[in-house]
Amino acid sequence: MTKTTTLTFLIAGIFTLSTSVLAQQQTESSEQDHAQHDHSGHDMSHDAHDHSGHDMSQDSGAAIDHSQMDHSDHEHDHDVDHSTHDTHAMDHGDMHHHHHMDHDHIMDHEGTMIMGQNLDTLPSSCRSISEEVEITVRAGRKYSAKFPGTAFAFDQQEWRVKPCAKVTFHFMNEDNIRHQFMMHGLPKYLYKYGMFHLEVTGPKTVSGTIIVPGGDDTYLVHCDISHHMEKGMKAQLVVGNGGTDIPGIPGLTPYNINDTYEAENLPTLSDKAEQSKMVRQITQFTNDNLQTYGMMLIGLLLGLFCIPLIRKIPLRRNKENKS
């Protein structure tokens, strides 16, 4: 008896004591606790934040774009020799008036441009020119018609040539705006910025020639006017057996990043099948009801079919009980 009473008193005592100690302990231990906490918990979390931030910006920035679009270390400054440019040219009607800069950058007064042309220098990987090809490239809005979800396109999305081919492109811009035929990834010792570029305001044609390298490779061709490539004006030149396909070429390769599409509530012809508004309202009413009643009927039938199945279970049990 004495044991139990002391025990209950002890437990009660501990409870009251612990609550009072609680307060004391708090004030005593708080200083030390703070010191430790600050250095571990918070600073760490901040570090983590900042690093993630950095990575993010790199991901979304130039780094990825660079790797995927084969934009190597080019620069945009044009080192040009403007010897033949006529400063006081007031006439802007004739098309023969070319402003030559250096040999691989030619531009006329309307902005028709040939950059990175190579008529005669063999790439180091070639002993001789394998074939001479002429390719006509048409560019315009109308070529995007066969690719839903695009706005501009070339007439073809892929051209194939042999390694070491001498290729002359006739770039026919059929729109009334500027378009470009810009090729990337060519050897930089031959092509400034590794690039061959034709640009013209249509409707007009500009031609330029290159000699492709000797190895199998696939080169990006696009129009770099804001969102022309993104909206369909993208293609590839396959040399020999080609290299890796370029993503996002209409009808050829999928986008890296796709939009999400969903069904929409668009008016359809069947909405207009019944001419009379009244008739339509009534049929709509009955249609709605038919749907609900129809579903009900299906449910009923299902239920009826299921009855024997359901009945079998308790029957068996009853039989078992009986036996």
In the range 217-256, which residues lie near other proteins by CB under 8 A? 224-228, 230-231, 247-248, 255-256
**Restricting to residues 270-309, which ones interact with other proteins according to CB under 8 A?**
none
Q: Which stretch binds other proteins (CB under 8 A): 121-129, 176-184, 236-244, 295-303?
A: 176-184
- Could you say whether residue 48 binds other proteins (CB under 8 A)? no
- Could you say whether residue 95 binds other proteins (CB under 8 A)? no
- Which contiguous run of DSSP H or E holds residue 66? helix 62-69
Residues forming beta bridges with residue 171, ordered by sequence position: 137, 206
Locate 173 and state its tokens.
């811009």
- Could you say whether residue 89 binds other proteins (CB under 8 A)? yes
- Could you say whether residue 261 binds other proteins (CB under 8 A)? yes
Nearest to 116 by CA among 201, 202, 203, 212: 212
129 touches 211 (CB < 8 A): yes
**Restricting to residues 108-167, which ones interact with other proteins according to CB under 8 A?**
108-111, 113, 140-141, 148-152
- Could you say whether residue 30 binds other proteins (CB under 8 A)? yes
Question: Strand 158-161 and strand 234-239: pairing?
Answer: parallel
From residue 35, how far is each of 27, 30, 40, 42 by CA, in Å?
14, 9, 9, 11
Residue 291: exposed, middle, or buried by beta-carbon count in 10 A (0-12, 13-18, 19+)? exposed
Selected from 39, 48, 55, 64, the binder of other proteins by CB under 8 A is: 64
Nearer to other proteins, 94 or 320 (CB): 94
In angstroms, give the least distance from the CB of 145 to other proteins: 12
Nearer to other proteins, 123 or 140 (CB): 140
